[in-house]
Structures are given as C-alpha cells and as structure tokens.
Amino acid sequence: MEMQFDKGLLLFGGTYGNLQATEALFGEAERLGFGSDRMICTGDLAAYCAQPQETVDLVRQKGVATILGNCEENLAADLDDCGCGFDAGTACDLMSQQWYTFCREKLSAGTKRWMGTLPRTLTAIIGEKRLRVVHGGLSVINEFIFPSCADAPLNSAMNEAECDGILAGHSGIPFARVIGEKLWLNSGAVGIPANDGTDRVWYAIIEPAEDGLKISTHPLTYDHKTAAGEMRREGLTAYADALESGHWPSTDVLPEQETAETGQRLKPVSLTWN
C-alpha cells in the first residue's frame, strides 16, 4: 500500500487507550493544518490506559491511515498476551497481564475484527523520498528500537526495505537519525510519556523544505489528570502514576543508556534531510 503526501504528514502512534491525549493530538493537528488524510498512525491504539474502545473509535472516525501494531495483532487473534516483547516474569510482563485483559474485555468484537484487517506496513511518498512505515522493526513487529541503537542494524533494515527511510513506533521514545542518506524516525507515543520525567507525550512531522525534508519531533501537553483519574477508577494504577510523573513503572525494556537517562527532559528534534 502506497500513499502520496505532497504537503508532508504528521506521524503518531501508541495512543494506548488514552482518549484525552488522542483528542489533544487531533486538536493540535487541526491547529497546524494537518487533516486526517495527512496523518499516519503506527499502531497500538489500545493498551495501558482506560478508554481503549473510545480511543479506537475516535481514530477510526477520523479516517487516519493506521498500520497493525502488536496489540492489534494479538487482540484480533484473541491471544492471551499483548505480544509486546516483554521478557517473561519481568515487571512489564506482569503488569501487561492486567491492562491487556482489560482491553480484551472492553473492546467490541467488531473492533477486534477491524484490527485484524490493518496492514502490517505501508509506504509514504513525500517528494522523491519513499518511507516505509512499520510498527517496531522491519521484520519483527514488536522489536524495540531505541535512540541508543547502533547505526548498522538500522541501516541494514532500510537497505532490506529498499526505501529511503523508515517511520516507526512501539518503543515510546522519540528520535530521528540520518544514517548516510537514509532516515530512521520514531515519533514516540501519544498515550504515555517518554520516561523523561514530564507529563508530555510525542508525535512527529515530516514536511517539504527548500533543501529537502524537515523532520521534527514535538511534545504535546493534554489533560493528563483526567486520563490518570479514569485509569485509577479502572484499577490501572501503575501506568496512571506514569502519566503524572513522566516515569515508566519499569525500565525492564530499556537499554543501559536510556535507563540512565530516565527522568531527563527530552528536547524536540528538528533537522533537514536531503
């Protein structure tokens, strides 16, 4: 599946059932002049937060092009775990059993069937650049790719994809990196902060510039108090605390560098890629 974006696009993912953050994202997109036809979602619409059905309904109502995340894949198949890639027995794995069961119960059968129809990938074309959109990694849907990841595996994936760059999600921490002539961009997550000690969530924009494409990551503030309150009413307390503190309840999945950077306020990225 290929989509043309002559005026650029807004990339987001990981709404995680956070309705308040997702509403704020669409409000910001409208303010910036991005219609739903100029937005792409990298999946994981439903996860940690309290309003999975309402969040999925909103994204579907807007008509945003959305690819399959590991959460959609496993919810559609009615599997017993989220398929997030957490090591068995870790804190993330144990906590996922609660929120994933919650999502299975709250999402309608029709919504799960719709999730099963989502494409695993798509190609966004902006100017002369062909960008492959994936959830985690190119071949592994739940692969965690963080800012500290070495260039070589990213470059190898982009060469294998026969594209100019890859747009991804899943890991929850935004970053942009140009490797040679190719781009790897992770938009971060809309549904939960980036473990940087702030309540902000993240999205990214790719837009034409005079000398190439402008790539930027953007923080978003929203009514996180209401979102956290909804979660506590449903007993989803660990991640409710994360919405307010900006600290993930566990750093099990993080490499050494990102673990050491816990609580350090992230700065938006802006670069020109040509």
* The pair of three-digit structure tokens given for residue 177, joined into one six-digit string: 């990196």
At 82 the pLDDT is 93
What is d(CA 204, CA 215) in angstroms, rounded to the nearest whole number?
7
Question: Structurally, how many domains does the chain consist of?
Answer: 1
Do residues 72 and 137 lie in contact, with contact meaning Cβ atoms separated by under 8 Å?
A: no
Structural domain harbouring 194: 2-273
Phi–psi pair at 30, nearest 5 degrees:
-65, -40
Residue partners of 260: CB distance under 8 A and separation at least 6: none
At 96 the pLDDT is 86
At 71 the pLDDT is 97
At 161 the pLDDT is 95
At 90 the pLDDT is 86
What is d(CA 84, CA 48) in angstroms, rounded to the nearest whole number?
12
- The ranges of the chain with pLDDT < 50 are none
- What CATH number is given to the structural domain containing 137? 3.60.21.10
